[in-house]
Chain A
Amino acid sequence: MRPFGIATLVLSLLAAAPPVLADGDDVVIEDAWSRASIGTSRPGVAYMTLRNTGAEPVMVTGMRTDLAMMPMIHATTTDAQGVTRMSHMEEVEIAAGEAVALAPGGLHVMLMDLQRPMVEGESYTLSVIFADGTEASIQVPILGMASRGPAD
């Protein structure tokens, strides 16, 4: 019953506390890019840097795009045995004045259930969803499959 107790406490805190989170307006999104895909059966990936220019922390709770039915933020971790795995991040916090990089080898947006192939040279719209319900939309350029980023 303990987990249920904590969940209840959290919900009551959410209901009672005044909102202090900053808007998505405070977040600048830089260096977004994706790799081209082979067809639509494999998942795609998107990278970017999220910079919080506000005075309050910002929480990213998800992504939305018509390119993929299930875009989700994944973390990549490697254990002591060198085994690499991805885990779904339901929330990513960006501290005030800080930046979080979604980059090859680390955090990334996994674009599951692609609706069309990701073609090098094209771009698509991706919306970053914040905890306060606001969204920030960006155009993400699609680079080559073997690209290492916009500066490559």
Chain B
Amino acid sequence: MRRRALLRYGTLGLAAVAVTLFAGWWQVEGPGAPDIAMGDRRPLPLTNMDFTLTDHEGRPVGPETLIGRPSLVFFGFTWCPQVCPTTLADISHWLDGLGAEAGILNTVLITVDPERDTAQAMAEYVGYFHPQIRGWTGTPAQIARAAEGFRVRYEKVALDGGNYTMNHTAGVFLFDATGALVSIIDFHEPREFALPKIRRAMERSEPGTG
């Protein structure tokens, strides 16, 4: 009897928390985005994107930076202790697993939290992972424009104590050397599916096979 009561109570508690989180949301969406069916929101080809960002060494970068070599791009933020380090640790592991052939792969984390993720913060953070991983940031408007090209959604959520966290699209996007989307590694899919997908993006980038 007591267990049932506690479970019931727990459900009520969760609902109250969810309401608090929703109230703290605001959503960042590019122009016209609500018209697109959400399920079809796959990134544009890199050649159809138009944005300028700054990498963690202060250099200007954009979609053209990624053309010519296969690319692995994902969005996150360095204040996140869970999804982003997990993804970065996995990516580091995959790059190690690919060995020397991974050297041709552009590997980029684009922040969804430009307010806190300065180029310096990005540099400090990516330094803890595989040396091939680059961190890109920009102004909030620049980030919104980049996210729109990748059809990435992100939203700020207030936390207790005045802090905030970010909800965001967590998939890893794979492009071939021409900038065409090859596939997406979803955050929750079994990690052993990742290496074959990365290899496919790299194979499609070899001359005569694309």
Give A residues with C-beta under 8 Å from B. Answer: 3, 6-7, 10, 13-14, 16-21, 35, 37-38, 41-45, 57, 59, 70, 74, 76, 78, 80-91, 93, 104-105, 108, 110-113, 131, 144-148
Contact = CB atoms under 8 A, between A and B. Distances in A.
B86 to A, nearest CB: 4
Interface residues of B, number: 54
Contacts of A41: 79
Interface in B3-57: 3-10, 12-14, 17-18, 21, 38-39, 41
B19 to A, nearest CB: 11
B78 interface: yes
A83 B147 CA distance: 13
6 contacts: A42-B79, A78-B188, A82-B186, A84-B169, A105-B86, A148-B90
Q: Which of A16, A19, A35 has the most CB of B within 10 A?
A: A35
Contact of B81 (A19, A43, A82, A85): A43
B161 interface: yes
Contacts of B17: 87-88, 90
Nearest to A148: B89
A82 B159 contact: no
B114 to A, nearest CB: 16
Given A83-B153, A87-B18, A112 B167 contact: no
B163 A112 contact: yes
Contacts of B187: 78, 82, 84, 105
B209 interface: no
Contacts of B82: 45, 74, 76, 86, 104-105, 108, 110
Nearest to B88: A146
A43 B159 CA distance: 11
A76 B171 contact: no
Contacts of B169: 81-84
A96 to B, nearest CB: 11
A16 B4 CA distance: 13
A10 B12 contact: yes
Contacts of A83: 153-155, 167-170
Contacts of A59: 6, 10
Nearest to A37: B81
Contacts of A6: 8, 12
A80 B37 CA distance: 12
A59 B13 CA distance: 14
A81 B41 contact: yes
Interface in B60-102: 78-79, 81-83, 85-86, 88-90, 92-93
